[in-house]
Structures are given as structure tokens and as C-alpha cells.
């Protein structure tokens, strides 16, 4: 029985962050998809049903907050765990976790990220242990 790789959708408007996270996840056994804004991210989330999404908050054209709300509102994507990786301070994490309209994100990391902590959380969320 072949072990299928889980796919992670990385959504960030900074090309260097996209490249860094994509390489990091691929080096750790995951397939990746990338999007540079929330609109493209939603299209990919709906069409490819990734196992997990990492999401930046501040992006042009469509923000991560909007994409996060859209993911939660769509029954086809609402169950996908979302890990927010952003340069915004932890006060924003408290804000987004306090919103009653949407469930809180599965995890929240500030840039620059602790790679070991991100990998451990991703594996936990995908049922792969540490």
C-alpha cells in the first residue's frame, strides 16, 4: 500500500516566503501548492482540497482574513485546518480567536517562524505524530 503524500496549500504574497515554506514542506515529505493572494488561494482550496493550508494575513487584492472567513463559510473547505503564518503580532491572534462568526485557526505563528514548531503542529494536525 503506497503512502500518499499530503498536500499543503501555502498562501503568501511574498515570493521568498512561498519558496521557503514550499521547500521546507517538500523536504519534510509533503506535496505543496502555492497562491499569492486569497482569491487564488480560495480557487485552489476548492479545486484541489489540500490536507492543510498555511495562510498569511496581509496580502494585496484579497486578504488572509477574508480567505479565512470564506474557507469557514464554504462546506467544501470548512474542515481543512488553517495555520496562520504572518508578520502580524500576537494581538491579532487574540482578535481572530475571539471572533464568534468563525472558528479559530488551527494554529498561529508569527514570522520569522520556528521551523520545528511549525512542522510539529502540521504533523499533529495531519495525524502524523511528531
Q: Which sequence spans correspond to the domains of the chain?
A: 7-125
Looking at domain 7-125, does it have CATH number 3.40.50.2300? yes
User: What pTM value is reported for the model?
Assistant: 0.90
Burial bucket for residue 2 (CB in 10 Å: 0-12, 13-18, 19+):
exposed
Q: What is the per-residue pLDDT for 104?
A: 83
| Residue 52: HSE in the Cβ half-sphere, 13 Å Cα cutoff | 25
pLDDT (tens, 9 = 90+) of the chain, 130 residues, equals 445 789 999 999 999 999 999 999 999 999 999 999 999 999 999 999 999 999 998 887 778 888 999 999 999 999 999 999 988 766 666 766 666 666 788 999 989 999 999 999 999 999 986 5
Q: What is the per-residue pLDDT for 88?
A: 77
Q: What is the per-residue pLDDT for 2?
A: 47
Nearest CA to 78 out of 109, 54, 46 is that of: 46
C-alpha cell at 36: 499569492
Contact 109, 83 (CB under 8 A): yes
Amino acid at each position: 500500500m503506497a503512502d500518499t503524500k499530503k498536500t499543503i496549500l501555502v498562501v503568501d504574497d511574498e515570493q521568498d516566503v512561498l519558496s521557503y515554506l514550499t521547500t521546507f514542506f517538500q523536504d519534510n515529505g509533503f506535496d505543496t501548492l502555492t497562491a499569492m493572494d486569497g482569491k487564488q488561494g480560495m480557487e485552489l482550496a476548492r479545486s484541489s482540497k489540500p490536507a492543510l493550508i498555511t495562510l498569511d494575513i496581509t496580502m494585496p487584492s484579497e486578504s488572509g482574513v477574508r480567505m479565512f472567513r470564506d474557507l469557514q463559510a464554504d462546506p467544501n473547505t470548512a474542515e481543512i485546518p488553517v495555520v496562520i503564518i504572518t508578520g502580524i503580532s500576537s494581538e491579532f491572534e487574540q482578535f481572530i480567536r475571539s471572533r464568534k462568526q468563525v472558528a479559530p485557526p488551527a494554529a498561529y505563528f508569527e514570522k520569522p517562524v520556528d521551523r520545528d514548531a511549525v512542522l510539529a503542529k502540521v504533523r499533529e494536525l495531519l495525524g502524523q505524530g511528531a
